[in-house]
Amino acid sequence: MVFSGITFLYYFLPVVLIVYLAVSMLRGRVGLELRNAVLLLASLFFYFWGEPVYLLLMLGVIGAVYGMGLILDRLIQTESRLRGPFFALSVAVTLIPLIVFKYADFLIRAVNSWFGVQVPLPGLALPVGISFYTFQILSYLIDLNWGRIRVQKRPDRLALYVSLFPQLIAGPIVRYAEVEKELKERETSLTRLSAGMERFVIGLAKKVLIANVLGDFCSVYRGSTEGGMLFAWLYAAAVSLQLYFDFSGYSDMAIGLGTMFGFTFPENFRYPFICRSITEFWRRWHMTLGGWFRDYVYIPMGGNRVSKLRWMGNLLVVWGLTGLWHGADWNFLLWGLYFGVLLTCEKLFWGKLLEKLPSVLRWMITIVLIMVSFLIFDSEGISGIGTNLKALVSGKAVTAESLYYLRSYGVLFAIAAAGATPVPAWCMKKIRSSAIGEQLVILARPVVLAGLLILCTAFLVDGSFNPFLYFRF
């Protein structure tokens, strides 16, 4: 079940909201416990719908982490010497399912290739969302070990944190510390419900009306034999914008759903394509993942407070892991290392050179580097990377096919490019700066949102739906 599906939009979500709002009428401890119970049961059913077998895996992991958390807390309280080894064991146990299900085939293929052996591949299907909920569980254990949070003694509340359906499948990566209080006390109001619905519909429109249609263009390019440099660059732009609207649209929907149910999830994107450096890009793109690696990997390794050589090694390790987190294949590893090298160069010398250039030129250079990165990201293995990058600089500059599709998708490209900037928000702010404009917005908002929902529904019924790209992570 996905957010941009008819089943979720018109069956699952309405039923869950009605039941949740009904029990929200009960105040006090009983009301909270019932709300949590509704969300937990809904979340488990949501995951069961798409992953019946792997629901047992997730529940097993939650049970193991709950027990390990209690033991770790006891070792902390007693200042036991076993605290360190047990914490390391807890982290290892948490990572085992991720490594087995996501990386076993990749590692075995590498061994077979390097040593000329024929170890059979397990061929295990990847549990949806395992990368996201594993990182959330790790943040719980690490913060508990560091004394940043208190142990959760209620297994149902820990299970709700891990399985909460708005952020279960594709993030954002929510740390336990960010929702610890809301698991025990949160507000349910019409204001939050309205704000959450608005954010959800906007995210749905980004996904269905922009990302999916850009995906159609990408499919056309992949099936083309005529090619051309213009077509290749349009494809690079389409892949970059498709990934942005797909994932940021999902994040908007997740944040909106969280708001409806009284949770405040962290923002995941902040107009990444207006950046003028790679450093700035990663402060705006998938912010919860970047923050996770910074706080739990980069800084504990010493960050930039070590020798220059070790610091460079830290960067490459972190970005190699970032790439592999996205997928178990060489293109993802190279994609991560590509950013690691760019950031290293930027901090050593490239950043100083960039600062001397005009702002527009800095932006253009950065955008080109980002588009190249997403071609690497979108490629099928090493050979695919070479094919995609070669197409940018070889072949006929302009072909009849590329001009045809530029005319066909030109308006969509313009809308997507504008929508990826703060321009729409700036225009809305200007309109609302006057009393008349504010009244117009109040009157038009429900009509526009209803129109977007109807249009998205029409696209979905017509068969324009594509699964979320980040589901595979």
pLDDT tens readout for residues 78-127: 989 999 999 999 999 999 999 999 999 999 998 988 888 888 888 888 89
Q: What are the C-alpha distances in Å from 30 to residues 42, 153, 261, 338, 458?
A: 18, 18, 16, 52, 41
* pLDDT, position 423: 92
pLDDT band at 467 (very low <50, low <70, confident <90, very high): low
Instruction: Considering the candidates 175, 207, 326, 362, report the single residue annotated as catalytic.
Output: 326
* Residue-wise pLDDT tens digits, 398-410: 888 889 999 999 9
Q: Which of 198-212, 386-400, 404-418 has the lowest mean pLDDT?
A: 386-400
- For residue 304, what are the contacts with CB-CB under 8 A and spacing of at least 6? 311, 314
| pLDDT, the chain, mean | 91
Radius of gyration of the chain (CA): 24
Take residue 323 and report the two structure tokens written for it: 């790439």
Q: Round to whole Å and give the CA distance between 344 and 351.
A: 10
Contact 137, 162 (CB under 8 A): yes
* Of 240, 259, 238, residue with least CA distance to 248: 240
Alpha-carbon span 38 to 44, nearest angstrom: 10
pLDDT at 472: 52
Q: At what angle do helices 359-378 and 229-260 cross, to 10 degrees?
A: 90
Amino acid found at 404 = Y
Q: What is the pLDDT of residue 465?
A: 47
Locate the domains of the chain by residue range: 11-185, 192-461
- Is residue 412 pLDDT above 80, yes or no? yes
Cis geometry, peptide bond prior to residue 172 (ω within 30 degrees of 0): yes
Identify the pLDDT of residue 157.
95
Interior/surface letters 306-315, b for 16+ CB within 10 angstroms, e for the rest:
eeeeebbbbb
Instruction: Please name the residues in contact with 141: beta carbons below 8 A apart, sequence gap of 6 or more.
Output: 65, 68, 69, 72, 87, 90, 91, 94
pLDDT digit string, tens, across residues 267-287: 999 999 999 999 999 999 999
Mark whether 326 is an active-site residue. Answer: yes
Pairwise CA distance, residues 28 & 179, whole Å: 19
Find the mean pLDDT for residues 414-424: 94
Say yes or no to pLDDT of 444 above 50.
yes
pLDDT in tens, 8-50: 999 999 999 999 999 988 888 888 899 999 999 999 999 999 8
- Which residue, 300, 423, 322, 413, is CA-closest to 373? 322
Instruction: Please give the C-alpha separations between residue 74 and each of 69, 86, 157, 158, 213, in angstroms, as whole numbers.
Output: 9, 11, 19, 17, 53
Using pLDDT thresholds of 50, 70 and 90, give the confidence band for residue 473: low
- How many other C-beta atoms are found inside a 10 Å radius of the C-beta of residue 33? 15
- What is the average per-residue pLDDT within 156-176? 91
Residue carrying structure tokens 């939050």: 192
pLDDT digits (tens, 9 = 90+) for 310-369: 999 999 999 999 999 998 899 999 999 999 999 999 999 888 888 889 999 999 999 999
Q: Is the pTM of this model over 0.85?
A: yes
Computed from CA positions of residues 66, 171, 174, 36, in that sequence, does the dihedral angle turn out positive or negative? negative
Half-sphere exposure of 413 (CA within 13 A, CB side): 16
Q: Between 274 and 435, name the one with better pLDDT.
A: 274
> In 51-99, which ranges are continuous DSSP H helix?
52-77, 83-98
Q: What are phi and psi of 204, to 5 degrees?
A: -60, -45
Q: Euclidean distance between the first and final Cα of the chain, in Å?
A: 16
- What tokens were used for 249? 């649209």
- Could you report the per-residue pLDDT of 304-323, keeping only the tens digit for each? 889 989 999 999 999 999 99
Which residue in the block uniquely carries the two structure tokens 């913060």? 143
Average pLDDT over residues 384-393: 90
Cβ distance 160 to 36 under 8 Å?
A: yes
Which residues, in sequence order, are CB contacts of 157 under 8 Å at separation 6+? 36, 183, 184
pLDDT digits (tens, 9 = 90+) for 151-161: 999 999 999 99
Longest dimension (CA), the chain: 74
- Cα separation of 78 and 68, whole Å? 15
Length of the chain in residues, anyone? 473
Give the C-alpha separation, 275 to 360, whole Å: 10
CA separation for the pair 339, 279 (Å, rounded)? 9
Contact 192, 262 (CB under 8 A): yes
Kindly list the distances between the CA atom of residue 35 and the CA atoms of 165, 180, 182, 263, in Å, as whole numbers in the listed order.
14, 15, 12, 12
